[in-house]
Amino acid sequence: MTNETILSIEKLNISVKKNKIIKNLSLSFYKNKVTAIMGPSGCGKTTLIRSLNRMHDLDKSFKVKGNISFGNTNLLKADPILVRQQIGMVFQRPNPFPNMSIYENVLAGYILNGIKLSKEEKDNIVDINLKKVGLYDEVSDNIHRKGSHLSGGQQQRLCIARTLAMKPKVLLLDEPTSALDPKATTRIENLINELKNEVSIIMVTHNIEQASRVSDYTAFLYLGDLIEYDTTETIFTVPKDKRTEEYLSRKYG
């Protein structure tokens, strides 16, 4: 059974000033799969996924060339606001909006984009998405309190709920558990496994074990080059490139 491509990168080059960070990279991501992007620090992992929802537009020193196909659209030429509604992102450190309640945080995408909803629609969106991330029972009695009083793991799940509320097709996760304790990390990993049934997930992780546990596919980057891309099982058992093998055996990182 062949996998359906949801996002395809062709000849992507990203540079900052004269430094090339991503070099002529091409790969496809698959629908309802989790793809892990691994590699040593400074290899371009975060730079790569930030390009997928146009975060580099916020910093004019970045130059991005190539093609990122999403259906019939080149994301590099589309309206970035529309891109970010389709391709949501959750960052390394939990970042609920501090001036918003838990309820408002889930609805933040609608509020910030000026999208009007009825009270019933708002309640429905909040309930559904808090339940998706397993947070509803934990916060339902305090839903109008600020999200900042939650634990780190709860805050990260709230950020995921906020992103899911916009019904994205792709969810980008940039090292989503690196600031969390082991228990909270396990909750997020279990959540990733559940969410892939409704959204395609692309995740940067420096945690080799995490990539092996939660991803279906793994891409290995080194100094801006895509060294290897295959099913996670293949990458972890029979890597084709010596650099991949050395990274997985922790000879460098």
Ordered by where they begin, the domains of the chain are 5-248 (3.40.50.300)
- Tell me what pLDDT residue 252 has: 60
Res 253 pLDDT > 60: no
Quick check: 98 and 148 in contact, CB under 8 A? yes
Angstrom distances, CA of residue 241 to CA of 91, 224, 246:
30, 16, 9
The residues, ordered by sequence, that sit 6+ positions from 186 with a Cβ below 8 Å of its Cβ are none
Q: What is the dihedral of CA 113, 114, 115, 120, to 10 degrees?
A: 120
Mean pLDDT for all residues in the chain: 93
Reported confidence tier of residue 74, pLDDT bands at 50, 70, 90: very high
Reported confidence tier of residue 81, pLDDT bands at 50, 70, 90: confident
**Mean pLDDT (whole number) for 150-164:** 95
- Tell me what pLDDT residue 144 has: 95
Q: What is the pTM of this model?
A: 0.94
Give CA–CA dist 58/62, Å, rounded: 9
**Mean pLDDT (whole number) for 24-50:** 94
- Tell me what pLDDT residue 1 has: 53
Give CA–CA dist 111/71, Å, rounded: 27
